[in-house]
Amino acid sequence: VHLVLLNSVDSTNSYLINNYGSHLSICNKIPVIATELQTQGRGRLGRQWHSGLGDSLTFSLRWFYKQGPGFLSGLSLVVGIAIIRVLHSFGIKELALKWPNDILYRYRKLAGILIELQGEMQGPTVAVIGIGININLAPNTKHAINRKVSDLFEITGSVIDRNRLLAALLAELQNVLSNFNQLGFPVFQSEWIRYHAFEGKPVSLVLPNGLSTQGIVDGVGEDGSLILKTATGRNRFNVGEISLR
């Protein structure tokens, strides 16, 4: 790992994309950018990601994978598994995943993942994997986030050492991502479903075109797609935002 620690940056994903490009620059090591403060943190679906000075663990790493961009859904799901495994090793329970990759504590968001692909549309693909974990959110950060959130301080009653957490995450991410590169998503499928917050539950899935589908969650496919039992049968989805009905 080639670790860069910043005091402040617009977004660690943008910094990595702008400074480390898609080629193997600087060295063969995995570049990782972590920061105390992001001024323009980005979330999925064009949303903002709010975090205040030192109140989160905010970092991005670059990863090459050979499968091609079609495998992105599987990639983002396995990153969620790595985060859950590490938080479990810190004694944190009652965690679940919301498809594709939000980490929830009692249905409130604890961490998010933003994966951005770069370079050629033919493999190997360069993925910039950005992770934000709420550690001890300042009241004004919480206020800025306009949905149900949680942080590790609320769960454990103590401020977790971010250095230890980052080190454990980088080790587990390398483990999980190497396995993903070799074996793909199928070896992770049953573990992911075990953590699935909405498994077997009735949900609405809002598609990017604004239309929504109703169904019962029936796992995820071998490619990481979400499976819903709907009026027309068992359907797979690669995009969309789910919520409980």
Interacting residue with ligand BTN among 17, 31, 32, 42 (CB under 6 A)? 42
Interacting residue with ligand BTN among 30, 36, 44, 90 (CB under 6 A)? 44
Identify residues 3-32 at the interface with ligand BTN (CB under 6 A).
Answer: 11-13
**In the complex, what is the shortest distance from the CB of residue 216 to ligand BTN, in angstroms, rounded to a whole number?**
24
Is residue 43 a contact residue for ligand BTN (CB under 6 A)?
yes
Is residue 102 a contact residue for ligand BTN (CB under 6 A)?
yes
Catalytic member of 44, 108, 142, 229: 44
Which DSSP category does 69 fall into? G
Please identify which residue in the block is written with the tokens 């991410």: 173
In the complex with ligand BTN, which residue's Cβ is closer, 136 or 184? 136
The rounded distance, in Å, linking the Cα atoms of 78 and 81 is 5
Which DSSP category does 44 fall into? G
In the complex with ligand BTN, which residue's Cβ is closer, 35 or 189? 35
Residues at the annotated binding site for biotin?
Answer: 11-13, 38, 42-44, 109
Residue 122, token pair as written in the block: 């033919």
In the complex with ligand BTN, which residue's Cβ is closer, 100 or 184? 100
State the burial class of residue 204 (Cβ atoms within 10 Å of its Cβ: 0-12, 13-18, 19+). middle
Respond yes or no: is residue 44 known to be catalytic: yes
The residues that bridge with 113 in the sheet, in sequence order, are: 131
Respond yes or no: is residue 245 known to be catalytic: yes
Strand ranges across the sheet with 233-237 = 233-237, 226-230, 212-220, 202-206, 241-244
What residues contact residue 8 under an 8 Å CB cut-off, 6+ apart? 35, 36, 37, 38, 39
The rounded distance, in Å, linking the Cα atoms of 92 and 84 is 9
The rounded distance, in Å, linking the Cα atoms of 235 and 245 is 18
Interacting residue with ligand BTN among 74, 80, 100, 132 (CB under 6 A)? 132
Give the nearest residue (CB) to ligand BTN.
112
Interacting residue with ligand BTN among 20, 31, 41, 82 (CB under 6 A)? 41
Q: Which spans of this chain sit near ligand BTN (rule: CB under 6 A)?
A: 11-13, 38, 41-44, 47, 49, 58, 60, 102, 112-114, 130-132
